[in-house]
Structure 1
Amino acid sequence: MALFSSRTGIHRACATTLSISLVSLLSVGNEAVAKPTLDVSHIPTPYPVVERMLEMSKLQPDDHLIDLGSGDGRIAIAAVKDWNAGSAMGIDLDEDRIAEARQNAERAGVADRVRFEQGDLLEADLSEASVLTLYQLNAKNIWLQPVILKSMNPGTRVLTHSFELGEWEPDQSDTVEGGTVYMWTVPASVAGKWQLTTAEGIEALILIEQSYQRVVGSAEIEGEPVMLSDPRLHGNEIRFSIDSRQYIGKVEGDNIVPVDEANGTAGWNAQRI
């Protein structure tokens, strides 16, 4: 398998409970499909881990946090009460935990900004979240990984406690009370061919290969091949250099528009072809 593979079209909870799921395999034709069943146990996330996860997420007033497996609601409540998030939602399968979380939100005075819903986290609509938190076993995280990449907007921060998201390497990690907090930023889809036009009107054909947030690429300018130097992708921001000239752009679907920064090059654009 190649290290970098095209991912076009594939991208776009510190949950308070560690769900221990029973997974059954159903046979559909010749394929085995995992089907989740009711969670049977939970372990609350320690408060120091909660604090570190929310600190790493760099919450802003316009952020909406979703906490999968929200338990007593401590993550969602702390996000709006102590860490400046505009709103939050917790999802849990356990009716008793939902009732407890709602009571805790009332006591904390944030019931108008936090809501809790009973439901299967594997069926949750995550598209409105700008921050996602979870504390689930590896099997469930691997199940969720493609959902996160497909349905969530580039730039969304995803944070987990103790368990990773399969082969998707985290952008940041930290150890707290013997456990590890991981954070990822959902990357834009940039794999494919791009037509770049410089500020001087020179055209270049760019080929980008992508594996999650890791990218490599090459360019062809007037028939001459050139490698992209130091290509980097973070959320919907992409950076690369061609012949010592740096390009900093924002990915907007099939277009890359320049970002006006001191070290960037203005007046250029790129379109996926």
Structure 2
Amino acid sequence: MLDMAQVKAGDMVIDLGSGDGRIMITAAQRHGAQGFGVEIDPRLVQRSNEEARRLGIADRVKFLRQDLFSTDFHEANVLTLYLLPDVNLALRPKILAELKPGTRVVSHDYDMREWRPDAEETMPAPDKKVGMRKESMVYLWIVPARVEGEWTFELSSGGKTRRTRLVLQQRFQFVSGSVELTGQGDVPVSYGRLRGEELRLMLPPGALDRGPVELVGQVRGNSLSGTVRRADREVAHWNAHRRN
């Protein structure tokens, strides 16, 4: 789970359903991270804190017995989940509302239904006690920025700037919409996807060029900026500002 989330030194990791503490302890020992685990069983919380003290990492790792839904995890760079499927789904709105775009969320065995994972892996689990299969699924999500709305879109090329309207709809990390172009009306986005604060939009042939073009940009609150790419070559720059 930690490798899949690419945990590194300085990351703030929060482990929900921390059990015996092994995920959080490994994050600190092997990856140089800090953070805390949340667990409902007081015996496991006590045992995990004792183990952190024994290993000399209690200054970077602690374990708490508290309600998952009242836990403040907005500072996390990585959120790990070892929870039941209905708890994952109940936490989903809080995760999307509180975590920063780009935060990595990793779940053991259970997904989040309509919020499709950005990556998933099957891992051997010979000691697994639940179910018949001796393997586990691990799911990774990258919290997407919010881009839904109407934007003023500016395209700069050859010393000239064109200004028009960009309308985006969003379903988790997947984006659809249209851009208004002179003589063409509203041209639909043929593909759109977010990975944290990185936005990629594909426009069909004939929209800005004879072939398809890709808009690659970064989201910064109500601003977007990036480059127009054609056949992996940058051909123009663009930016946008949200109107609503």
Band of TM-score, shorter chain: 0.7 to 0.9
* Structure 2 residue aligned with 1:40: none
RMSD of aligned residue pairs (Cα, Å): 2.0
* Structure 1 residue aligned with 2:37: 90
User: Given the alignment of the two structures, is residue 169 of structure 1 paired with residue 119 of structure 2, yes or no?
Assistant: no
User: Given the alignment of the two structures, is residue 134 of structure 1 paired with residue 81 of structure 2, yes or no?
Assistant: yes
User: Given the alignment of the two structures, is residue 101 of structure 1 paired with residue 71 of structure 2, yes or no?
Assistant: no
* Structure 2 residue aligned with 1:64: 12
Show structure 1 runs of 4+ deviating over 4 A: 259-267
Paired with 1:263 and 1:105, the residues of 2 have a C-alpha distance of 50
Q: Which runs of 5+ in 2 are unaligned?
A: 126-134
Deviations 1:112-138 (A, max 9, x none): 211222211121111010100011111
* Structure 1 residue aligned with 2:168: 208
What residue identity is the alignment partner of 2:59? D
* Structure 2 residue aligned with 1:228: 189
Deviations 1:223-258 (A, max 9, x none): 523222432211111012442443221111111122
* Structure 2 residue aligned with 1:197: 154
Paired with 1:254 and 1:233, the residues of 2 have a C-alpha distance of 15
Q: How many percent identity over aligned positions?
A: 39
Q: Larger RCO: Structure 1 or Structure 2 (Cα < 8 Å, ≥ 6 residues apart)?
A: 1
What residue identity is the alignment partner of 1:231? G
Per the normalisation by structure 1, the TM-score is 0.75
Q: Cα distance 1:94–1:184, how it changes in 2: closer, same or farther (>3 A)?
A: same
Q: Cα distance 1:264–1:156, how it changes in 2: closer, same or farther (>3 A)?
A: farther
SS of 2:9's partner is coil
Equivalences for residues 18-167 of structure 1 within 5 A: 53-85=1-33, 87-167=34-114
Paired with 1:153 and 1:59, the residues of 2 have a C-alpha distance of 16
User: Given the alignment of the two structures, is residue 180 of structure 1 paired with residue 148 of structure 2, yes or no?
Assistant: no
Q: Which runs of 5+ in 1 are unaligned?
A: 1-52
Q: When the two structures are aligned, how many residues end up with a matched partner? A: 220
**Whose strand fraction is larger, Structure 1's or Structure 2's?**
2
Q: Post-superposition shift, 1:184?
A: 0.7
Q: Cα distance 1:123–1:263, how it changes in 2: closer, same or farther (>3 A)?
A: farther
What residue identity is the alignment partner of 2:173? Q
Per the normalisation by structure 2, the TM-score is 0.83
